[in-house]
Chain A
Amino acid sequence: AQSVTQLGSHVSVSEGALVLLRCNYSSSVPPYLFWYVQYPNQGLQLLLKYTSAATLVKGINGFEAEFKKSETSFHLTKPSAHMSDAAEYFCAVSSTDSWGKFQFGAGTQVVVTP
């Protein structure tokens, strides 16, 4: 079965500092991995996805993530946090079948302080 684990339910960063959100996956087949962002009172929006092409994936709003098979990780980073990055972030893995189901992590709430 596919699963993801997000380390840290809450992360606080200073404006201008590095944002690092951790995600580890478990998958019996080569995984397809996703990061989504949820702003307050909104649905989830795709940040980026890994589908077995380049291991470093660039997304929207200056975010990127690196797929590391040896570490079974797909951590999300942004070099310089902005106040508008305050949101909840979800890592997800696509299921092994072709039905398109995802398994989501529990989410990481990011707080950005001035």
Chain B
Amino acid sequence: DVKVTQSSRYLVKRTGEKVFLECVQDMDHENMFWYRQDPGLGLRLIYFSYDVKMKEKGDIPEGYSVSREKKERFSLILESASTNQTSMYLCASSLRGRRGNTIYFGEGSWLTVV
């Protein structure tokens, strides 16, 4: 089975702090994604990466950056956390190359910014 692991399930950070959310997948997938989930808005794509050191902006990249130094690891960075970034963050991965490839999700990281 594909496993996508998000190292931190629950975090509480202060406004202005730099926050790192880490994600690791064990299936050699080329694609990795960071989504944000908010009630009534579904999942919104923040960034995705289709290869090591490659990244593309999603629908809501403002206030976020990402890092992919190794194929299996994709990090989301909040340079200066703000209260409107309180949310559930979901990491995901998939094989590259076909539109119908399934996206596999981690269990999510709940971030509260106070």
Contact = CB atoms under 8 A, between A and B. Distances in A.
Interface of A, helix, strand, loop or mixed by DSSP: loop
Contact of B42 (A32, A51, A100, A106): A106
B99 interface: yes
Q: Quick one: which of B4, B35, B50, B105 has the most chain A CB within 10 A?
A: B105
A46 B102 contact: yes
Contacts of B40: 9, 106-107
Given A45-B105, A46-B102, A101 B48 contact: yes
A77 interface: no
Given A43-B90, A104-B42, A99 B56 contact: yes
A30 to B, nearest CB: 9
Nearest to B32: A100
B25 interface: no
A100 B107 contact: no
19 contacts: A32-B100, A34-B102, A42-B107, A44-B43, A46-B104, A49-B102, A90-B42, A94-B100, A97-B99, A98-B99, A100-B48, A100-B94, A100-B95, A100-B101, A100-B103, A101-B33, A102-B45, A104-B42, A104-B43
